Amino acid sequence: MSVETKSKAAAKKPAPHPNTWVFHEGEFARYNDVRLGLMTHALHYGTGVFEGIRAYWNAKQEQLFLLEGAQHYERMHRSANIMRMTLPHSTEELVNFTLELLRRNQFKSDVYVRPLLYTSSEEIGVRLHNLEHSFFIYAIPFGNYVEIESGIRCMVSTWRRVPDQSLPARAKITGSYAQSALAKSEAVESGFDEAIVLTVDGHVSEGSAENLFMFKEGTFFTPPVTDDILEGVTRTLIMKLIKDELGLPVVERSIDRTELYTCEELLLCGTGAQISPVVEVDRRPVGNGKVGEFTHELQSIYFGAVRGESKKYKDWTIPVY
Ligand SMILES: Cc1ncc(COP(=O)(O)O)c(C=O)c1O
């Protein structure tokens, strides 16, 4: 696919139906009945924190499974705290509102859930204090965010990850995603599928919206939480699967750029990306240039678990219906 066709395909992603149910300011409402003012602070200054949560449809069981809802809302509470904001509901309430939202919309496909806590004051002035906040959740049918079968080609971005000293990457802040957007567009418009971003001091941090795992000489490695990553919910699940299912060690340590060129397997993971095998970095094949054996095995266990098919990992999901 040419770069132009790829970006046209991306532009055609479905918009929410006007009648879709959303949760807004403590109540359920229709998508088109919610209006934001032009001066909304968060729109101008990136002063919001958000989450991305998936629910997986299991056609055989005719059931939708919400994946790790509580973990996402716990992280959202932590992101909010960093930004001097407070979520207006407990984690338990938020999970229940999300389940109710999914039920109201009667989704029968994979779904992406987007909660956003944002500075809703309509005024000029960059700050965090003495401002009003609003909260909503919307949900939309959603397939793959990046390719997950044949493997993706990545470039190491010329943009660096936002450092904790400037804009904490461990908080999922709307404004930080301008950095992700710079990296993603640079990669796609240069003919790659995804960007891998380094920290300011030159270590591998993560993908534009994914955490990263590398396999080398019998061990999986992933950048530590102190290398300016978002502390991914999927990352925690993958670490568990590597240890419990593959019986392999996982080491959290800084990764050099050239280790990406010399490792045997590489994968990106996240709520959107799921598990996406990386087969090429900066025009160098990863391993034999094909999807890695362990990566493939992780995918098959992961997809069974998230679709509610694994007894062992039942506690990862909540059935919606
Ligand atoms: C920058 C970034 N890193 C990592 C991740 C993966 O996090 P999670 O697995 O919690 O979705 C995401 C996705 O939300 C992200 O945006």
Alpha carbons within 13 angstroms on the beta-carbon side of residue 147 total 16
**Contact criterion met (CB below 8 Å) for 132 and 114:** no
Among left, alpha and beta (phi > 0; psi -120 to 50; other), residue 23 is beta
Give the DSSP letter of residue 16. Answer: P
**Contact criterion met (CB below 8 Å) for 142 and 113:** no
The residue whose C-alpha atom lies closest to atom 7 belonging to ligand 1 is 232
Per-residue confidence (pLDDT) for residue 18, from 0 to 100: 87
Does the pLDDT at position 6 exceed 60?
Answer: no
Atom of ligand 1 nearest to the CA of 229: 3
Per-residue confidence (pLDDT) for residue 13, from 0 to 100: 66
The residue whose C-alpha atom lies closest to atom 15 belonging to ligand 1 is 209
- Digit-coded pLDDT (tens) for 216-226: 999 999 999 99
Using most ligand atoms within 8 A of CB, pick from 182, 211, 235 the residue to mutate for ligand 1: 211
Burial class (CB in 10 A: 0-12, 13-18, 19+), 132: exposed
Domains, the chain, ranges and CATH?
A: 11-141 (3.30.470.10), 152-306 (3.20.10.10)
Q: Does the C-beta of 265 come closer than 6 Å to ligand 1?
A: no
Atom of ligand 1 nearest to the CA of 52: 14
The residue whose C-alpha atom lies closest to atom 16 belonging to ligand 1 is 209
Q: Does the C-beta of 79 come closer than 6 Å to ligand 1?
A: no
Mean pLDDT for the chain? Answer: 95
Per-residue confidence (pLDDT) for residue 45, from 0 to 100: 98
Pairwise CA distance, residues 201 & 223, whole Å: 13
Determine which one of 60, 108, 172, 243 is catalytic. Answer: 172
Q: Does the C-beta of 110 come closer than 6 Å to ligand 1?
A: no
* SS3 at position 135: strand
- Digit-coded pLDDT (tens) for 170-196: 999 999 999 999 999 999 999 999 999
pLDDT band at 5 (very low <50, low <70, confident <90, very high): very low
Does the pLDDT at position 302 exceed 60?
Answer: yes
| Percent above pLDDT 90 for the chain | 92
- Reply yes or no on whether 172 is catalytic: yes
| Percent above pLDDT 70 for the chain | 96
Using most ligand atoms within 8 A of CB, pick from 234, 237, 239, 302 the residue to mutate for ligand 1: 234
CA distances 197 to 78, 162, 281, Å, are 23, 10, 12
Q: Is the four-CA dihedral 278, 280, 281, 287 of positive or negative sign?
A: positive
- Digit-coded pLDDT (tens) for 192-210: 999 999 999 999 999 999 9
Q: Does the C-beta of 157 come closer than 6 Å to ligand 1?
A: no
pLDDT band at 276 (very low <50, low <70, confident <90, very high): very high
pLDDT band at 145 (very low <50, low <70, confident <90, very high): confident
Per-residue confidence (pLDDT) for residue 143, from 0 to 100: 83
Q: Does the C-beta of 232 come closer than 6 Å to ligand 1?
A: yes
Which helix (H) or strand (E) element contains residue 205?
Answer: strand 204-207
Does the pLDDT at position 8 exceed 60?
Answer: no
Tokens 């705290």 appear where? 81
- Digit-coded pLDDT (tens) for 230-260: 999 999 999 999 999 999 999 999 999 999 9
- Digit-coded pLDDT (tens) for 53-89: 999 999 999 999 999 999 999 999 999 999 999 999 9
Q: Does the C-beta of 267 come closer than 6 Å to ligand 1?
A: no
